[in-house]
Amino acid sequence: PLSAAQAGGGDLPLVLSRAELERSQLPADAPEAGRFEELPLGPQLEPRGSIGERLGRGACILRVPGVVSSDEAAALLSAALSARSAQVERRGKPPSRGRARLPVSEPSLFGRDSVETCEEVLLRVLDLCDEAMPSLHETLFAPREGWQERQPRNAQGSQPEVPPPPDLAERCPSLRDLYMAAELEWSEGEPAINVYTSDGYFGAHKDHLALTVLIPLTAPSTDFEGGGTGFWAGNSAVGEDPRGPPDLVLAPAAGTALLFGGDVTHAGLPVAGGLRSVFVASFSTRTPASPPDR
């Protein structure tokens, strides 16, 4: 639990910061909140299969507006800027590549209010996926036959060798259930808030986990120029050093969630001016082989 992580000073996953957390409501100040749009990654959208199957094979990016309210985005940005200053003071130097990566569960960086806001946002996204896009859980997370073959490849190009325990399907029949039971494995240092200053970027890479949720906390043109997230089509056939420009560049409004699969090569494009910040979390179903601190 996050409360134990904060008490012990450890950098553990963001899980169960409250004894019980009611279903998180979408922000009231976003008229299109919760509606999702499927964006093709490639020449055209492949109609085959479910949304979960299309996202898993890298055929699309999902865009969900209004997941974070303007007040929540402003509060998280303010907390992230304070955390960045604390991180610079502790390390004695500014972040490299113009990007500060700030783990939300790091107690020296974020207070409990910020942690709980991030948890509400995550549960908001998971609830939306469970209700409007249940095939994401069924295809990418549920430990049924063929789970390993549906997972993204790791940095060595291999899929998981160890599946989740079979009884997990019955114990955790939804993404929310997996989260609340601490049965999700997170990318190292995530959930996190990234802060990019002028010329800041995140080079092309893959996240190697079933699903990534990325939510900008700042607005293009208003808060920064350039930037955005670039995506390359091709999924596992494209490496982490792609040739040529991205096939799709997205710089959505603050509070809009982007969802994509772990085999998709993507990059945080250089910020030409101003300040860009995003909340990011990548995760898969936990297995007996998952690192205990993630």
Q: What is the pLDDT of residues 119-172, one digit of tens each?
A: 999 999 999 999 999 999 999 999 999 999 999 999 888 999 999 998 999 999
Q: What are the residues whose beta carbons fall under 8 Å from the beta carbon of 115, sequence distance 6 or more? A: 2, 6, 14, 17, 104, 105
| pLDDT the model gives residue 3 | 39
With tokens 């134990």, the residue in question is: 4
Please report, to the nearest 10 degrees, the dihedral formed by the alpha carbons of residues 292, 124, 149, 162 taken in order.
Answer: 20
Q: How far apart are CA 167 and CA 243, in angstroms?
A: 43
Q: Which amino acid, 134?
A: P
Look at residue 21 and tell me whether its pLDDT is greater than 70: no
Which DSSP category does 233 fall into?
A: T
Closest of 62, 95, 13 to residue 275, by C-alpha = 95
The residue among 95 and 269 whose pLDDT is bigger is 269
Look at residue 16 and tell me whether its pLDDT is greater than 70: no
| pLDDT the model gives residue 35 | 81
| pLDDT the model gives residue 123 | 96
Q: How far apart are CA 17 and CA 248, in angstroms?
A: 36
Q: Measure Cα distances from 90 to 80, 87, 93, 153, 155 in Å.
A: 15, 5, 8, 35, 30
Work out the mean pLDDT of the chain and round it to a whole number.
89
Tokens encoding 38: 């499927």
| pLDDT the model gives residue 245 | 95
Q: Residues of 234-264 as b/e, b for ≥16 C-beta within 10 angstroms?
A: bbbebeeebeeebbbebbbbbbbbbbbbbbb
| pLDDT the model gives residue 29 | 56
H or E, element range at 229: strand 229-232
Q: How many residues does the chain have?
A: 294
For the chain, report the end-to-end CA distance as a whole number of angstroms.
Answer: 12
Look at residue 19 and tell me whether its pLDDT is greater than 90: no
Residue 25 banded pLDDT, cuts 50, 70, 90? low
Contact present, 139 and 150 (Cβ < 8 Å): yes
Look at residue 80 and tell me whether its pLDDT is greater than 90: yes
What is the per-residue pLDDT across 239-260, written as a single tens digit (0 to 9) for each? 999 999 999 999 999 999 999 9
